Amino acid sequence: MTTDENKRTRLSDPEVIRALAHPARTAVLDYLDGADEATATECAKVVGLSPSAMSYHLRTLAKVGLVEEAEGRGDGRERLWRRKIKDLSVGVEYDAPASVKLTGRAMVEAFQAAADIKLRRYLDVAADEPREWYEALLFGQTSVYLTPEELREFQRKVAEALEPFSGRKERGEIPEGARKVAIQTRMFPEV
């Protein structure tokens, strides 16, 4: 794992990639981003697994440094988990073995499947949303011609534009009327 100039953690370690290639693990990471902390039972309900299966997945995520135990509630008998790393990017090193690249692909596909589920959930209720939220939905595609250097510069500018909004929850600065918004970005050469 490395952290880039935009404070985003790049995951490229094969063990971390294998841990994230499971859809339940990507889903629980997303859930913990919004829930702050939760028990294995609470996480299990989100992904449709038993609490014991979810405990296994949480321990796997903890082993690779993506989640950690949080302080317990009340009498301390509950084991709480929280997300350790907030902003992630995924990628496999160019010279990685083919087996690692296949695992990396599975991880990217798991993240994309989770992102697609979020969009479908919103589309299921979009017609019932208040007008301002309904009209704020953006889904589009633009193709442009860029060099690799220009693409990296564009990525840096996107991260820079998001910076004032990142970490609002942790800082206690969520404005009245704000909602958690999924910003999904895909940048790849067309083939």
d(C-alpha 186, C-alpha 116), whole Å: 12
pLDDT at 138: 82
pLDDT at 75: 57
Task: Kindly state the average pLDDT of the residues 142-163.
Answer: 93
pLDDT > 70 fraction of the chain, expressed in percent and rounded = 88
Is residue 173 over pLDDT 50?
A: yes
Entry pTM? 0.67
Is residue 28 over pLDDT 80?
A: yes
Class of domain 2-128: mainly alpha
Closest to 143 measured CA to CA, from 175, 96, 190, 107: 190
pLDDT at 131: 93
**Tens digit of pLDDT for each residue in 86-138?**
777 667 788 888 988 888 888 788 778 878 888 888 889 999 999 999 888 88
Higher pLDDT residue, 108 or 42? 42
Per-residue confidence band for 34, with pLDDT thresholds at 50, 70 and 90: confident
Averaged pLDDT score across all residues of the chain: 84
Is residue 1 over pLDDT 70?
A: no
Give, in order, the Cα–Cα distances in Å from 145 to each of 69, 151, 155: 45, 9, 14
Q: Is the dihedral of CA 141, 146, 148, 153 positive or negative?
A: negative
Q: Which two tokens stand for residue 133?
A: 């939220």
pLDDT > 90 fraction of the chain, expressed in percent and rounded = 33
pLDDT at 2: 44
The residue ranges of every structural domain in the chain are 2-128
**Tens digit of pLDDT for each residue in 46-63?**
889 999 999 999 999 999
pLDDT at 9: 56
Task: Kindly state the average pLDDT of the residues 150-162.
Answer: 93
Higher pLDDT residue, 59 or 78? 59
Buried b (16+ CB within 10 A) or exposed e, 135-147: eeeeeeeeeeeee
Provide the greatest CA pair distance for the chain.
Answer: 58
